[in-house]
Amino acid sequence: MSARIIVGLAADERAAGQIQVAAADSGELTPCSRADELVESVTRTPNVVAVITELWDVDGRPMAPAVRRLRHWRATLPVIAFCRLTPRTAREIVTMAAAGVSAIAIRDHEDLGDLLRSVIDPKLYQRRSVSSIARTAEASTAGENKYPWP
């Protein structure tokens, strides 16, 4: 079986590290820092199962045009936008959503690895989530009839 490939674009070292950690359990990471590298990696590499990209590449170019090209090339490929939430990024998040990203992960607030696993294998993730919800509900109601008051 061939390795699953995740293409990740990061404009800074910290984001690159976070993307690498998130991808570790889901596949082999192909890192890049420029929009054209990202598109080339996805279109020329077999077994790409997901893309993680920041809003701008290392040269400051917006990634929305690259996302549109990826959508044209492979409409069902999961593409995650990875960014901070600031006044500057707010408008670009909307642009990326219109370009066709599958999900948006807010840096330092969301579990990128968990989100990545959920877009790569939604059925497996859904089964795990249902199981987790059932365990949480069971634990939260365990002492429900313990107290004498209604």
Inform me whether the pLDDT recorded for 142 exceeds 60.
Answer: no
Mind giving me the DSSP string for the chain? -PPPEEEEE-SSHHHHHHHHHHHTTTSEEEEESSHHHHHHHHHHSTTEEEEEE-SB-TTS-BSHHHHHHHHHH-TTS-EEEEE---HHHHHHHHHHHHHT-SEEEETTTS-HHHHHHHHH-HHHHHHHHHHHHHHHHHHHTTTTTSSS--
Over the stretch 34-47, which tens digit does the pLDDT of each residue have? 999 999 999 999 99
Domain boundaries, given as residue ranges, for the chain: 5-140
CATH architecture for segment(s) 5-140: 3-Layer(aba) Sandwich (3.40)
> What pTM was computed for the model?
0.81
